[in-house]
């Protein structure tokens, strides 16, 4: 689903243009709405066409300067991504920001080793992120400007007993984003890694214990602040940074005995 190229409502005040991948619910939907309210023209991508269209229509009737453009897309259709990326950039009239938010975390029992679930998490959480963000990286490097944001998780900081491959997918995303940052900073491109703790989304359905839960809207506000401040790595909420620091430094022989 595409829309025609959008012309800024105030030509003398150029609008920022963004892509949000995974925008039909949770942090992605809240972030797409927040960016539109801040005046961005946003290409909102998601698999669920009806939900995406409903969200975009609701926002477009309430904002005066920004706009959401819906694009139906399954992120695991990797071959479609280069062409779709170019189409979206043409429709937007350029690109300043891309945010990859799409992610899955199916329930996995402590004695379960299910390759189909594992494959899905790696495909959505890591491989599709690479496929999308590589496109932006090439464009931004040539332009000498741009901002890439990946929404990862505190879960990527260590390998926990409860979700080995989810942890792996987020750890891989963290390393990929760090490598992009190290490669692209010298070209004027900003790369931000977002590491949320517990956010009130469908992913909490598989969490045995939760605390410090924040809303998707609070997360979106924090992400936009990180974008404006050109932060490198941001924990949500900020207190998770200290927790992450402690977790990363627990000796392995102790950590493996911890039941989380």
Give 65-79 pLDDT, tens digit per residue: 889 999 999 999 999
Please give the pLDDT value at position 65. Answer: 80
Confidence of residue 14 (pLDDT cuts 50, 70, 90): confident
Structure tokens of 178? 């760090």
Higher pLDDT, 200 or 235: 235
Confidence of residue 252 (pLDDT cuts 50, 70, 90): confident
Is the predicted pLDDT of residue 7 greater than 70, yes or no? no
Domains and CATH numbers, the chain: 17-249 (3.40.50.720)
Residues in CB range of 167: below 8 A, 6 or more apart: 155, 156, 158, 159, 160
Q: Which residues pair with 20 in a beta bridge?
A: 44, 99
pTM: 0.89
Confidence of residue 2 (pLDDT cuts 50, 70, 90): very low
Is the predicted pLDDT of residue 3 greater than 60, yes or no? no
* Mean of all residue pLDDT scores within the chain: 90
Please give the pLDDT value at position 13. Answer: 58
Is the predicted pLDDT of residue 149 greater than 70, yes or no? yes
Q: Is the peptide bond before 237 cis (omega within 30 degrees of 0)?
A: yes
Torsion angle, CA of 251/257/258/260, rounded to 10 degrees?
Answer: 110
Please give the pLDDT value at position 208. Answer: 67
Distance, CA of 195 to CA of 149 (rounded, Å): 11
Residue pair 31/44 in contact (Cβ under 8 Å)? The answer is no
Mean pLDDT of all residues in 145-163: 92
> pLDDT for 175-188, tens place per residue?
999 999 999 999 99
Is the predicted pLDDT of residue 136 greater than 80, yes or no? yes
Distance, CA of 115 to CA of 7 (rounded, Å): 46
């Amino acid at each position: 689903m595409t829309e025609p190229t959008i012309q800024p409502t105030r030509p003398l005040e150029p609008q920022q243009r963004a892509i949000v991948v995974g925008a039909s619910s949770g942090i992605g939907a809240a972030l797409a709405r927040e960016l539109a309210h801040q005046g961005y023209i946003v290409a909102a991508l998601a698999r669920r066409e009806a939900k995406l269209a409903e969200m975009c229509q609701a926002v477009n009737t309430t904002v005066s300067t920004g706009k959401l453009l819906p694009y139906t897309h399954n992120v695991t259709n990797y071959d479609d991504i280069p062409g779709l990326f170019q189409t979206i950039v043409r429709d937007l009239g350029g690109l300043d920001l891309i945010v990859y938010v799409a992610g899955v975390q199916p329930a996995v029992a402590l004695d379960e080793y299910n390759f189909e679930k594992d494959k899905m998490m790696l495909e959505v959480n890591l491989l599709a992120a690479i496929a999308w963000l590589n496109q932006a990286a090439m464009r931004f490097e040539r332009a000498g400007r741009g901002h890439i944001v990946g929404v990862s998780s505190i879960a990527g900081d260590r390998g926990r007993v409860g979700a080995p491959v989810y942890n792996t997918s987020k750890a891989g995303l963290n390393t990929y984003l760090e490598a992009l940052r190290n490669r692209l900073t010298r070209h004027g491109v900003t790369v931000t890694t977002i590491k949320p703790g517990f956010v009130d989304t469908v992913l909490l359905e598989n969490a045995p214990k939760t605390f410090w839960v924040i809303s998707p809207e609070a997360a979106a506000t924090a992400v936009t602040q990180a974008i404006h401040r050109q932060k490198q790595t941001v924990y949500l909420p900020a207190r998770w940074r200290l927790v992450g620091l402690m977790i990363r430094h627990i000796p392995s022989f102790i950590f493996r005995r911890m039941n989380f």
